[in-house]
Every structure is written in structure tokens, then in C-alpha cells.
A = this chain, B = another copy of it.
Amino acid sequence: MGAKLTPREKDYSKWYNEIVVNADLAENSAVRGCMIIKPYGYAIWEKMQAELDKMFKATGHENAYFPLFVPKSLFEAEEKNAEGFAKECAVVTHYRLQNDEDNPGKLKVDPKAKLEEELVVRPTSEAVIWNTYKSWIQSYRDLPILINQWANVVRWEMRTRLFLRTAEFLWQEGHTAHATKVEAVEETKLMNQVYADFVENYMAIPVIQGTKTASERFAGAEETYCIEALMQDGKALQAGTSHFLGQNFAKAFDVKYATAEGGLEHVWATSWGVSTRLIGALIMTHSDDNGLVLPPNLAPIQVVFVPIYKGEEQQAKIAEVVEGMKVELEQKGVRVKFDNRDKFKPGFKFNEHELKGVPLRVAIGPKDLENGTVEVARRDTLNKTVVAQAELVDFISDQLDKIQVDLFQKALDFRQKHITEVADFDEFKTIIEGKGGFVSAHGDGTAETEKAIKKITKATIRCIPLEAKEEAGQCVYSGNPSKQRVLFAKAY
């Protein structure tokens, strides 16, 4: 493991990068802005995928797969969407390389293999999917279509950070088609709720559900619902979005359906997505200066056994006891690792598993063999407890549940302390610059005010909370009347 992490207090951003790399989650690649997700990081993503996939299927969705490439003419069909992504997209222009005569052993683009029409590497798949739905939808009987896709997408971001913002990332994108506006809006809200449930119950990250202002909306959406989380440095992170697309894509791709009454109407659409960015949120919500802290529900390894021994005889005896307990735990569905590597000392292993955020560590040495005990250490609190071997299985089950709950509660307490109601713009600036977190303030709802506030403070409106109560007030910036508070914050 070697060097300790930079403490959060000293340099939060550096701390984050060090955790990602030292906990073996991901690293930068030779391709600008693209990351390599290492096995340990990918195992967390697999757990997230598995749970989300179950939730999507339980709400009636099916998976499918659409092409990676979007022909330029389809890409530009929905103008706002195209405008939103045109400035940052990878474009395929040729389909062949040839030998470079001037540089033996090297290749160059074959100018004769130029595509008639350029292909955009999908930054999102509305265009290619709605062009397909056109042929799938004739009548109201064909609706709704409830499809999800697990895929990679590419957005040519100029400033990238592992997991949080990368040129290529992995995500899921739901794309649904409905007969009525009401149904499409219900779907949009439902999937935002599914995201909130997943992020709170599995990732142990409290979120605020809300809608975006026009300037923060998805390009091509009529309304964007979102879940917003708060990181330990007081910056917000948009953890998932669900878009009501109105009839924009149906109109751009001419997708109409025959109604039961014999009419012909444009179809209503939604799309919704979460990505590997969530792993960034997971890291920044729970981890500490010792490394990663993982909620048990997503930890690839929930319990690690570390034996402490001198000589082969002790080693064998301990192994026998551990293997027995391991089997029992696995029968209960607990993900267990027995770290019996002989070439590393216990202290080294302790550090490694701490850095990698394994929720519970069970140490067992010769004294424990005599006493029929083990020592259990919690990663989140670092507390240690001596437990009788006979009681270990129940103890671990309880502790895993408890850690999951405690992590959520801790993050919730932090967030509650970091929602600050402000009355004027001086207070607004003081909070944003100092304490950070969400600032709950009245705004006048105009794009100009939002832009001006962003320019001065770098804070944006993260969302108009769904649960915001009506409350007459004055915009902190313009002094114009306002009906409710919205949440501002600096954001990832």
C-alpha cells in the first residue's frame, strides 16, 4: 500500500484521485479522457448494475441494444438535442487504415475510405432509438414501449476526472414511448423515484428529488427530474436524471400512432439514465482519510478474514476454523474473502482492506484459538469488538445491516447540516464560499438571474425540490417576487 492518502482537509481533489487509484478502482488510459475500470471498481459497478436491472425489470422494462454510431443526419434531426451534444462528440469519418509509405510499419487513414456520411459515436441514443421506434409504433396497441439499454457513450469533455467526468463512460439509458402525456410524465417520475430508492437503499446516499430549471435541463427535454446528492466537500453531485421529452423526438422523427378512437397522434417520450459517475458519488460520500468506505449492499467483499499466526501448525488450525465460519456466512449470502496470502504480513493486509473499504475485517490469532473468539473491526467507525466464534455469523449479519443504516444516517446528518436557508445575497455568498452545501434561497425563476448568480458565485440551481412548500419571498439576487425556495450549490 505504501504512502498514506492526502487528507481531505488538505486537498480534497487530490484525496479523491488517490483513493480511486490506490484502492484499485480505476486509472487513466492512453486515450485522452478515457478511463480503465479495474476489476475491483468494475465489481462495484456489476453490483450496481444487477440491482438497478432488477428494479427496471420489476417496473416492466426490458433490455435491448441499439447501434454505437449515429449517422449525422439522424443526429441533427432533433435540433436542441443536436445543439447540446454537437460540440463534444467523437466523429468517425473513415473506415480503413492503410500502410504509410513514408513511415514503414506505420499506418495512416486511407483517404479513399471516406464515409459518405459521418457517424457520431453516440453521446446518448434518443436519435437512433426514435428513428427505430418510428417503425415499431403504428397503433395504440404498440404502446407503451418500455426499453432500457446498458451501453458505453462518448462525450468529448475537455476537463475529465476518473468516474466523475470521462470522455467515455458506461451507463444505462431508458427510452420509453407512451400514448399520453400523463403516462409519460408518470413514467418520468417513477424512474426518478427508482433512482432515488436505489441510491438511498444500496449506495446509502441521501438524495433530494427535484426538477431542473430550463438552463440545466437535458437538451431536448421539456422537463428534467433529478436526484441531487451532497459530497463531503460541500459540493453537490447530480446522481441521476429522468427526462420528460414531450413530443419533441416523435415530431423530429415523425412517430405517430393510431388512437383507439381512430385519430393519429404524436407519441410521448421519456429517457432516463445513471452512469459510472455514481461510483464517484459513492467514493466522495462515505470515504475517509484511511481510504474507501463501502456500504455493505454494494461491497464486492463484505467480510475479510485475516489470520495471524506463527508457523504452519498455527496457520493450519486457524485456516480450519476460518473455513468453517466462511462456509456458514456464505450460506447466509454474505460475500466473504479469506486472505490467506502467505507473503504479506497481517498489518499490510489490514491497511489494504481498509484502503479498499471492506466493511468488516475479522482477525483471528493464536489467543483467539484458545478463547474461541475473533476480533471484528468495522471499517466505517474503525471500532473493534471481540466476538465468540459461535456467535460470529449472527454478529456479522447484524453489523452489515447496521453499517448500511449508519452510513446513510451519517450522510443524511451531514446533508441536513448543509442545507442553509438564506435571506439575502450577502448571506448567500458567505455560505457558498465558506460552509458550502446547499443554499435554500428564493430566486425569481429567470435564466438571467441564474446566470448572474453563477457568474458571481459559481453556484447553480441544483433543483427545484419536489417537496418544496409554497412560501412567498423575494429573489436573493433581483429582489423580484418568488413563490418558493430552490436549492443552489456548487456542483460536480
Interface residues, chain A, CB within 8 Å of chain B?
29-31, 34-39, 42-43, 45-46, 62-72, 74-76, 79, 82, 86-99, 105-107, 109, 118-121, 128, 131-132, 141, 147, 151-152, 154, 156, 168, 170, 343
Contact = CB atoms under 8 A, between A and B. Distances in A.
Contact of A35 (B42, B67, B98): B67
A343 B141 contact: yes
A91 B97 contact: yes
Contacts of A37: 64-65
B43 A65 contact: no
Contacts of A86: 96-99, 107
B38 A64 contact: yes
**How many of these chains are in the complex?**
2
Given A34-B68, A37-B64, 6 more contacts: A29-B67, A36-B132, A39-B63, A68-B154, A87-B96, A89-B97
Nearest to A97: B86
Tell me if A's interface is mostly helix, strand, loop or mixed: mixed
A31 B67 contact: yes
B88 A168 contact: no
Contacts of A96: 86-89, 91, 156
A408 B455 CA distance: 68
Nearest to A121: B92
Contacts of A68: 34, 121, 152, 154, 168
B156 A95 contact: yes
15 contacts: A30-B74, A30-B128, A34-B67, A39-B64, A42-B65, A75-B97, A82-B107, A87-B98, A90-B92, A90-B95, A91-B97, A92-B92, A93-B93, A121-B121, A151-B152
A97 B72 contact: yes
B65 A36 contact: yes
